[in-house]
Amino acid sequence: MSAPRADLERSDTRWILSTEELANSPSRRDGIKAEDEKKKRRQTVSFIEECGKKLKLPKLPVVVAETYLNRFSTG
């Protein structure tokens, strides 16, 4: 059974964070600088891609992992 259209539309907005929400993320509250966080994200994305290559995974699961990393490490 599929979700009602209104629920889908509401859930889509949870993936879009405002500039204010990003500026007040848990990382910022913990004192982690934006540049330091970006560097760690880049390193982690590189690690995910390296693992994907070594495991000979299709690109899709690698991209999904990177997307989840970026989405759930922001809020």
Q: How far apart are CA 73 and CA 75, in angstroms?
A: 6
**What per-residue confidence (pLDDT) applies to 9?**
56
Q: How far apart are CA 6 and CA 22, in angstroms?
A: 25
Residues of the chain below pLDDT 50: none
pTM above 0.95, yes or no: no
Q: How far apart are CA 54 and CA 25, in angstroms?
A: 33
**What per-residue confidence (pLDDT) applies to 10?**
54
- Is the distance from CB of 15 to CB of 71 less than 8 angstroms? yes
Give the total residue count for the chain: 75
**What per-residue confidence (pLDDT) applies to 19?**
86
